[in-house]
Every structure is written in structure tokens, then in C-alpha cells.
Structure 1
Amino acid sequence: MVGSSGCHLSFDARLKIAKGVAKGLSYIHEKKHVHGNIKPSNILLTSEMDPVIGDFGLEWLKLGKTSYTPRNFGSKRSCSSREETMINNAYAVSTSPYHAPESVKTPKWDVYSFGIVLLELLSGKVFTDNELTQWNNDSLILDDNEANILKMIDNFTIADVDENKDSILTCFKLGLSCASIAPHKRPLMREVLQVLEKVASKL
């Protein structure tokens, strides 16, 4: 189903937003921090369409800085029952579509959230768990069926497809890579930024 964002944004504007958010998250991670709550409502836009990441640090005030101690138990879907109990005792698993499936917040948690936001930027809708699983499990869809990907592009950017097809496909595949269920399969934010910086833009 083709999404609709409700406002007209060119592909270049969406790419500019994605690059800005990726740059901000990359900087946060370089400083050994995790945002932990990346979602559209926490991304503010200036009049020039430059993104500003909000809500950073508020969860520290609520839960304490130790909540972001870098520990990676791996995906909740693949951990042992004992580990799962430990994780659930420490954190309540969120039902937000922007939150990663694992329970401990590491930089890879932010990468997952960024992937969902990037896919929403491109399609105008939030991807469900079932859709993400289908796309991530079927590499043939990504490699051999560009038409299916392009069908999911937001109606408001459909006019940009012919001119930006390769860039759109690159961004879409990057979003799916970031939103992998398995944390170890997600790229680092600096790697995400490197990919986006290579995508041509008129802005």
C-alpha cells in the first residue's frame, strides 16, 4: 500500500532530513551516549528543513544515566529464557514501532529507530513488524524486484522517482538494513551517514 505523508516534501528534502538526523546520531554515539527515543515527534525542523533532534537526555533524568550502560544481550527474540527474564526485569519492552525489539538500549537501538524513520520518510507510513520481517527475510525482493520497492514510495514524491530511482533504492535498502531485527546486522550510525553522504542531492 502506498503511503501518504500528508504534506509535500521532495525527495531531496527528505534526504536532507535523513542526513541531518544521521549526523546528529553519529555525533551522539561518538560521545558514547545513546538517544533511546528517536521518532518523528522528536525530530524538529527549521524553516530551512534542517532537522534538530529533541528529547535527548530526558530519559536520563527519569531513569538515571546508568540506564544507557552499553550492554548488549542481543535480540530479545533470540535470547535464552534466563536472559529474557533478566532483561524484562530491567526494562519494560515498548510497543512503539520506533523502538528496537531488544530491551537494552545501545547505539544499535538508535540505528533501528533511525531505520524506521527513514522508511517512513520514503513511504509516508510506519512499517509493521510483519512487513519488516518479510522484507528482511527475502533478499530477492531487494535485489531483483525494484518495482515492488518503488510502489511503496510516498505519493508526494512519486514524481521524483524517475530522476532519483537509484538514490531512492539505496535509501530504502539502507532503511531496511538499519531496521534489522538482529542488532549485529545493523550498521553503525557513522556507516549509515557515509552511505547517505554519497547519495546525490540538489539541496
Structure 2
Amino acid sequence: MADPVASVEKIVKLGLAIKKAADTVRRNEEECHEIRKRVLRFSAILSQLQQTGMMNNNPAMSAALEDLEETLERALELVTACQERSTIRRFIAAGDLSKHLQRVKDDILNKVMLASFAINTHTTIVLLTIQAGGVHPPPRLQQDTGVVEITQNSHSTDDARSEVDGERNNILGERVASFAPLVALKKFNLSELKAAINDGNLIGRGSACEVYKGVLNDGNVVAIKKFKRSHYLGWARTYDQLLLVSKLRHKNIVKVLGYGHEAAGSFSVMRLFKGKEKEYIWVEEYMSNGSLGKIIRESRLDWSSLFRIIEGVAQGVQYLHEQHVVHMDVKPANIILDYDMNPKITDFEFSEVLDDDEITHYAVIGTVGHIPPEYMMESIVSRKNDVYAFGITLLETVSIMCISKPPRNKWVFLRFWNVWEAGRMEELFDPSLFDGSQLMEINRCVKVGLLCTESDRADRPSMADVLEMLNGKKELPTPKKPHYTIEERIVQPQMRL
């Protein structure tokens, strides 16, 4: 089986060849240019992941990447056939060429999502191995685990966070400037925060930070979030996000209590001292019941408790959308639960504020498995990004009720789709976790999850509609069959009943 690193190199070369061919096509230009955009987008993502070292000597990804190679070779043949003097075109009827291009374009998306699943599975295994005290991860340039990031988006976010108490915030990228005090938040001394976590009580680890349980000088128990990737989450970006979060007020949004920041000089001076990274710390309210992700992995809750969590998350996301905020990383790990199991959304490091209905990123950020197709392939950001991620999260949460839990992340909705289409939903769930009268509500939630994860973002409901659907106040349309499906050999094994 081929080395994944070698496969990535071939895919990148094929992407460049497709780009060169697409630039000179004389027919079917729209289809060829769309194929070029998709291939170059995913090639860039693979190149970035390769630099992390997570793909070295990993046979799990080889088959998926080899399948993608074959599809791209076919795509190159078809795009070349669209050139005026192509000899290949002689063997393909003119009327069929457009159909072949559409078919291969869909197949590229199918193979890309399958490769994404393989990558996500591998990084999950690495994480679990590390947490269990196993081997160390391979050397990598970024501290990411399941999060894809290429470059930082430069879109303006003045709409929801331009002013705090009349002071306008000027964001200067990675340069260090003179920032107005965050008057709505308390600034803690770093010495107090370090003392608060001196016992090293680590309670969570994300793509950009580590979270500790700490006790402040006044005796309050808090969550202390230490950022560890200051090369892209510099103080300018952190300051910007703190301004945003400090203005959010909702029972299902985590409350930020304050911050700590090590003062620094100019950007040019910081460059001279690469060995010493600056520290950026957030202080948040402490949630005693951990994350929803941990609940999904380790617990079995009754339906009433789960539905309250699902509804609370939906209310939190809807509130964000009312404030023109897209979270960009809604997932079980970013939903934490208080002493009464009320859910609160946290981790706003990737959040964006939309001036328009949608924007285009110059990056792909977020967690593989919760990223919608249009963002993965075209970098389109809208509220529907969160709707899609909420749908995956909803289905992962409902999976707690299953007699045998389905796969996590992206492919969970395909498993639910298969069972829903077969009309076997009532056989899927453990009857000890709900009473008969609740089965209709459970089925409705699954259907809402399928609607939220529609391939076409135009078919996904808004979060306002989601809340009405969850409570039976709005009729649910019939979900459409996903545009991309797992190949037959992978789909065949259904959830064990």
C-alpha cells in the first residue's frame, strides 16, 4: 500500500496539472473551473496536514488517498478532453463530456469527504493514545488535532464588536499595538492565574489552548484557558475575540470573567526572541459536569436530559446568529455543562461576525467532521456552517440512546440516514432510556439533524426554524438523500440492533 505522504505529493501534482489544463479549455469551462477549484483547495489542505507530521507512516489513510488519486487522474483526462485540439475528446461523445465532468466532480467531493474521515479517525486515535499515556505524537509544526487551518481570514468584524463603551477597536493583524482596556472584563495578574493552577489540574485541551481548573485568591473556582499558539492567535486576535465574547449575554453561552496578558514590545522585537512565546489567558466560569463530548463517550443519559441539552445548544446558536456571529466550531467538545446539566457554548477562537449573509474565507478552519461541504470545497461562510455542525452534534448526542453507538463525527448522519430511510428507527434505540411516548420526539430530533446536514446549504433550516421543529411547532420537510455517500463496501455494515 502506498505511503500517504507520497500520495499527497501525487495529488498535489495532479492538482497543478488540472489547473494548467483548466486554464486552456475551450468547452465546458464552468465545470472544468469548478473541478480546478475543488482540487486545488483540497491539495492545499493536504499539504498543510502533511507538514504537521500526522500523515507519516499512516496506512489508515492510504486507501482513501489512492482512491482520490484515481479520481483526479480521471478528472485530468476529462479536463484535457475539453481543450480544442485534444485527442482524448475523439473518444468521448461531445454530448456525454459534460455528464462525465459532472460525475467526476461529484466523485471528487465523495472521495474528499472519505479522505477527511480517514484523517479525522487517525487524529482521534493519536489523541486517545496520548491521553492513555501511550506513544508521543510525531513532530509537527502546528498544535492541531482534528482542526484544519491554512491562513487567517482578514474579513472585517466591526459589525458586532467595533465598539466597547464608545471605544473603537483597531485590529492590526499580528502587530502589537496599544489596546484600550477591556473595561467589561477584569484583567488578572499572570502571577495570580499561575498560582491558581499550580497543581496542574488539566481539564481540557483544544486546538489552540489548554484549560485548567483553578482557584482564585478570592476562593472562586474558575476555568483558566492558556493559549498555546500565539503565532496566529496573537494578542490582537485574542483581544478581538475577547471584545466579542464580552458582549454576549445568554444562558447558553459561557461567561468570560477576565483575562491575563503578558505585555510585549513591537512586532519586530518579538521576532528577535522566538524562543519565548507570549502568554494569553482567558478566565471563564467553571462548568462542573465537563463537556458534552465526554458525556457522549462515557455516559448514558435518559431522553429528557438529552433533549434539554439539545434544545439549550440550539437556543445558544440561535442567539449567536441573532448577533450576526458564526461560531465556526460547534461540536460536543465545545459545549460544556453546569452543575444542573445546562449546556453552554464555549471556544470562540474561530468565530466570525458577518456583515453580509455570507463571506468567503481565505482559509479552512474548524473541526473535520463538522465542516459543511461548501466550506470545505469553496470556503463559503454563512450561518448555515453552524446549522450543519449543530446537526452533526445533535445526531452524535442522540446516538447515546442507541443500543449500539454509531460512528462519531461526519459519518454519523449517513448511518442515521440509512436507518431512517429503511424505516427502522424504532429498532435503533435502547427502550430503557425513554418511555414510549417520547419515541416520536426522538424520531423528530433525528429528522431535524438530517435536515441540518443537507448537502446543499439552501436546504438547511435556519436555527429559528430548528427550534420550532424541535418543539413540534413547525412541519418537517422530508430530508434529501446526501449528494455524497460512503462506498457500498463501507456503507453495507449497518448499526447493530
For residue 18 of structure 1, what is the aligned residue in structure 2?
310
- Is the 8 Å Cα contact of residues 301 and 433 (structure 2) preserved in structure 1? no
For residue 162 of structure 1, what is the aligned residue in structure 2?
436
Distance 1:142 1:36, change over 3 A: same
Report how far residue 13 of structure 1 moved: 0.6
Report how far residue 18 of structure 1 moved: 0.6
Structure 2 stretches lacking a partner, 5+ long: 1-295, 401-405, 474-497
**Aligned residue among 325, 333, 350 for 1:59:** 350
Task: Give TM-score, length-normalised by structure 2.
Answer: 0.31
Report how far residue 33 of structure 1 moved: 1.3
For residue 47 of structure 1, what is the aligned residue in structure 2?
339
**Aligned residue among 330, 346, 353 for 1:38:** 330
Letter in 2 for 1:111: V
Distance 1:131 1:33, change over 3 A: closer
RMSD of aligned C-alpha atoms? 2.9
For residue 453 of structure 2, what is the aligned residue in structure 1?
179
Report how far residue 101 of structure 1 moved: 1.6
* Per-residue CA distance 1:52-90 (angstroms, 9 max, x = gap): 00012x125xxxx578864268xxxxxxxxxxxxx7xx2
Task: Give TM-score, length-normalised by structure 1.
Answer: 0.70
- Is the 8 Å Cα contact of residues 392 and 409 (structure 2) preserved in structure 1? no
Query: Which of 1 and 2 has greater Rg?
Result: 2
* Per-residue CA distance 1:86-108 (angstroms, 9 max, x = gap): x7xx2237661122122122110
For residue 110 of structure 1, what is the aligned residue in structure 2?
386
- Is the 8 Å Cα contact of residues 373 and 455 (structure 2) preserved in structure 1? yes
**Aligned residue among 118, 122, 129 for 2:398:** 122
Letter in 2 for 1:42: N
- Is the 8 Å Cα contact of residues 328 and 366 (structure 2) preserved in structure 1? no
Which structure is higher in RCO with an 8 Å CA cutoff and minimum separation 6? 1
Distance 1:105 1:192, change over 3 A: same
- Select the structure that is richer in strand: 2
For residue 120 of structure 2, what is the aligned residue in structure 1?
none
Report how far residue 111 of structure 1 moved: 0.4
For residue 71 of structure 1, what is the aligned residue in structure 2?
358
For residue 150 of structure 1, what is the aligned residue in structure 2?
426
Describe the SS at the equivalent of 1:175: helix
- The separation in 2 between residues aligned to 1:162 and 1:179, in whole angstroms, is 27
Within 5 Å, which residues of 2 pair with 1:96-107? 96-103=368-375, 104-107=380-383
- Is the 8 Å Cα contact of residues 45 and 51 (structure 1) preserved in structure 2? yes
Describe the SS at the equivalent of 2:373: coil
Query: Which moved further from structure 2: 12-21 or 98-107?
Result: 98-107
Describe the SS at the equivalent of 1:91: coil
- The separation in 2 between residues aligned to 1:172 and 1:19, in whole angstroms, is 13
- The separation in 2 between residues aligned to 1:119 and 1:71, in whole angstroms, is 25
Report how far residue 134 of structure 1 moved: 7.1
Describe the SS at the equivalent of 1:102: helix
- The separation in 2 between residues aligned to 1:133 and 1:10, in whole angstroms, is 24
- Work out the number of aligned pairs and report it: 169
- Is the 8 Å Cα contact of residues 111 and 187 (structure 1) preserved in structure 2? yes
- The separation in 1 between residues aligned to 2:357 and 2:415, in whole angstroms, is 30
